[in-house]
Amino acid sequence: MDCLTTNVPAPEEIDIPALREKYRFERDKRVRVEGQEQYAAHADHLTQDTYEHDPFTPVIPRDSLEEDIDVAILGAGWTGILAAYHLTNAGVTSFRNIDHAGGFGGTWYWNRYPGIQCDNDAYCYLPLLEEMGWLPSKKFADGKEIYDYIQTIADRFELREKGLFHTLVKRLDWDESIKRWIVSTNRGDTIRARFVIMAGGTLSTPKFPSVPGIHAFKGHKFHTSRWDYEYTGGEWGNPVLEKLKDKRVAILGTGATSIQAVPYLGKYAKELYVLQRTPSVVDKRDNPPTDPEWAASLKPGWQAHRQENFLRAANEILPRDQPDLICDFWTEINRNINGELDAEGKGPITAEEFWGRREVMDFRVMERLRRRVDAIVKDPATAEALKPWYRFMCKRPLSNDDYLDTFNLPSVKLIDVAPTQGLEAMTEKGFIAQGVEYEIDAIVFASGFEVTSDLRRRWGFDDVVGRDGVSLYDHWADGPQTLHGSMTHGFPNMFFTGYVQGGLNGTTTLQFGSQGHHAAYIITEALKRGVAVEPTREGQDAYIKRFNEVAADLSSILNECTPSYFTNEGEKEAKWFLFRGWGLGWDNWRDMMQEWRSAGTLEGLELRAESEQVPAE
Ligand SMILES: Cc1cc2nc3c(=O)[nH]c(=O)nc-3n(C[C@H](O)[C@H](O)[C@H](O)COP(=O)(O)OP(=O)(O)OC[C@H]3O[C@@H](n4cnc5c(N)ncnc54)[C@H](O)[C@@H]3O)c2cc1C
């Protein structure tokens, strides 16, 4: 089937300077001076008392462990699993995946809310499809199918017996005398590990708003990443929420999770209030089942090829002679540009012209998406409030066929909390918006996760103490300092993953996997040579200098985006940026790292024999 361009308004139909103005107005209306500090501190989380509780798997008491291993992988989501996979391939077998979940899965273990699916092409997103000889049943796979797939990977690579679950890591201390990390847990374990891979996830610590009166509310409350099917009725994979039929429910937040859950809450609850500060982009879903003919036609190497195609079609420049294999809302802007260039009979254009056209197409696509709201939502005021006024990638773009239509149900009401920059207050009985109290029985927090906030609140470890007794929280007080986004000076044998001064790929799991691969390489080398490794200060500084030199200019995003976790809630001086990757692009990054490994010299790292003393700084 041909991948078609979309029907967007012509450039003359939109007034770009006026839209820019409007975008800034909508941003300014929402930016709060507290930035990321507007959210409840970790210690004040509503679920703090239950944070260590797992609603899905009973916690079985066990004796504390005392053991020595080569590698402690902190986390058992995709990143931790891929690190384990690469270690296994490299011949390292003495490792553990430690996780406070009750099993493998990470995001896909904890998030079981109704309607959960991945939001981008699962043929790209789900790693190891070729190795596993498996395909998801549809383009945007269900969360449960992803979880089940993860279990087959854990079995296939014999990871299960290495998992240490329902175990929350509390602190990490480097013991220089034995050159081991001491991993302390809430189960009283002492695990001495030569290496630690930090795979605790980017969206794993639930975040809550700091709303006056939030603790006074006497009704039921839970976070979407701990969905309470006991309360709502139904079950994971079969979300018939029949217990809500006499309940008045509010859901706070209108991001990726909410868009998937709202159609179910709207269908079953007696009344539903959707508390929205910033509307999401919601396009049509188009989620066809996997075509067996297409599946049969796939040739070895197809997944890497598809992932590359996605990266270019969504974020970079898709060469005109390459088809858009992904062909969904993520790739619409580039697809339309290429279609227009073909129609104009234009030859190759410069990168400058491409990015200029991309900006204009962004405005046109967003206008199409706003018109889509008008076409679906019957009440004009509700439709107006549901329109996204920002550039396409300011907030995670979404697709769902039922979300907007849910607002046509008489039992569903959109509560716009933008004028008060978030929910005004809660009371014993419900919430207050623009001076009116709404009584409810339950509130569901679809308020997301700590993503780029202060490291301590995000990671939640009591401490991570390196070679000189320095806390990583202090060491990185002004933001991450790394070599290749992977290791930091003063913290030997410790590897970082996620979005830390490194490459950046549209297929997140490709990035996480490459980080695991890189760590596995260094660990294997260090084990072979019997050394501890850490970046030299010079090596690290040189990398950071280069990283900053080539960094992309994010100012247009910060100027024209409404606040969200994509933009550090509008903090211009933020220390962490989610999408600040290697400015020269993924291919450059991948090749640079490959060359670094191929050289075999571990350039920029200092190797110390186990018996060697720390050199004076
Ligand atoms: C609902 C949802 C949908 C998503 N959909 C997509 C998508 O479609 N496409 C996409 O690219 N990305 C998506 N993401 C992002 C997703 O988080 C990543 O794609 C990926 O799953 C992250 O894997 P991870 O292993 O890095 O982290 P996680 O999956 O979050 O795993 C980290 C694990 O570490 C554990 N952990 C953390 N701290 C500790 C500690 N102190 N002690 C013990 N264990 C700890 C956590 O319990 C967790 O299980 C989605 C995220 C969410 C929440």
- Cβ contacts of residue 7 below 8 Å, gap of 6+? 368
Q: How far apart are CA 30 and CA 163, in angstroms?
A: 43
pLDDT tens track for 452-481: 888 888 888 999 999 999 999 999 999 999
> Quick one: 66-104+159-204+452-614 is in which CATH superfamily?
FAD/NAD(P)-binding domain (3.50.50.60)
pTM, to two decimals: 0.96
**Per-residue pLDDT averaged across 208-233, rounded?**
94
Tell me the torsion sign for CA atoms 522, 526, 529, 533. Answer: positive
pLDDT tens track for 515-538: 999 999 999 999 999 999 999 999
488 CA from centroid of ligand 1 (Å): 23
pLDDT at res. 1: 63
Residue nearest to atom 39 of ligand 1 (CA): 200
pLDDT at res. 539: 97
| 44 has a pLDDT exceeding 70 | no
Residue nearest to atom 37 of ligand 1 (CA): 200
Which atom from ligand 1 is nearest to the alpha carbon of 497? 26
Band (47; pLDDT cuts 50, 70, 90): low
**Per-residue pLDDT averaged across 97-102, rounded?**
97
pLDDT at res. 570: 80
Q: How far apart are CA 289 and CA 353, in angstroms?
A: 37
Q: Is 417 in the pocket of ligand 1 (CB under 6 A)?
A: no
372 CA from centroid of ligand 1 (Å): 31
Q: Is 403 in the pocket of ligand 1 (CB under 6 A)?
A: no
pLDDT at res. 615: 57
Cα–Cα distance list, 245 to 235, 249, 442 (Å): 16, 10, 12
Q: Is 111 in the pocket of ligand 1 (CB under 6 A)?
A: yes
Q: Is 51 in the pocket of ligand 1 (CB under 6 A)?
A: no
| Residue 606 near residue 540, CB atoms below 8 Å | no
DSSP state of 55: S
In the chain, where the domains are located: 66-104+159-204+452-614
Pairing verdict, β 180-185 and 190-198: antiparallel
DSSP conformation letters of 382-401: HHHHT---S-GGGS--EE-S
Q: Is 101 in the pocket of ligand 1 (CB under 6 A)?
A: yes
pLDDT at res. 41: 67
pLDDT at res. 48: 46
pLDDT at res. 155: 98
